[in-house]
Amino acid sequence: MEYRKIGDSELKLSVVTFGAWAAGGWMWGGTEHGESVKAIRAAYDLGVTTIDTAPAYGQGKSEEITGEAIKGIPRDKVQILTKYGLRWDSTKGEFYFSSLDNSGKPLKIYRYAGKESVIKECEESLRRLQTDYIDLYQIHWADPTTPIEETMEAVQSLIDAGKVRHAGVCNYSVEQMIEAEKYIHLLSNQVPYNMLRRNIEKELVPHILKQNQSILAYSPMERGLLTGKMQPGHNFSVGDHRSTVAYFSDENIRRTNAFLNQLKPMAIEKGATLGQLVIRWTVEQPGITIALVGARNAEQAVQNAKALEIQLTQEEIALISKELARLQLVL
């Protein structure tokens, strides 16, 4: 495994970070608690020391699984990244969207990051994670009803109290980051980035590089699409959000697989899966410090961790990018 510093801090994260959204089951058609714990532990055994979770992932389920999985591991040997600002137990803030919880009951999600809420969420996360501090605390989505100043000052108070080590954001624009940086020292921005979604390269990546910050790329596999294992007509489980996402239309699955087929000879030559090749390409892109990769079981977690065992030359990266330029999705 490889490790990289986040921003200008001394905090080092595993380049493949365990993304625990799917582990919480919410919007993924449910979860199997025991398998998720085994997945995190299997990843740790291969050097994946960093776990990214959030209260919203299963309404606390993902954090509870994370806390159980790291029990017994020295706290300074693992890095916990979690979030705040998505509430399902309060109607404050801005209504975000409706969903179903893991039991199939209606659920309404609100974006809210008022001071009292941020502090309350932190305390609840610490309890579920069974720890006394969070390595990187990130706002999940911008809250248009609360001044960024109020939110960031709340996080700073948590840093001053020793409950949070560092601050980051998720899904922030450049303008929002500039505003937040007036009140707190930011290390990173966690945003979606993969071979199919590269819009951040125009504005966000240059800003991140200029500020000596980091991008934590989530959905590097585009939620499983870039593994090459998904076929047109795929039957998604009830509650799986991908069933309504344009990337997963039959036509886009066909076009994506045609592109991936062009990469198969390179993957075979390196003894790698297509997914491992995709992960390695992702973390070699400018500004991308780590990739958050999800796993539902230990086998998937092991495969993800081993992506860092392969190497890509600049020529191979250029060849992949050339093939990628020909891919046109219907979105």
Query: Active-site residue numbers?
Result: 57
How far is CA 167 from its chain centroid?
A: 15
Could you tell me the two tokens for 116?
Answer: 């009292």
Q: Which amino acid is at 70?
A: I
- Measuring CA to CA, how many Å separate 2 from each of 8, 60, 262? 18, 29, 27
Please say whether the beta carbons of 40 and 20 come within 8 A: yes
Cβ atoms of residues 197 and 220 within 8 Å: no
- DSSP track, 212-229: T-EEEEE-TTTTTGGGS-
DSSP reduced 3-state for 114: coil
Q: Which amino acid is at 118?
A: V
Helix (H) or strand (E) holding 318: helix 314-325
115: number of Cβ within 10 Å:
14
Residues with Cβ within 8 Å of residue 235, at least 6 apart in sequence:
none
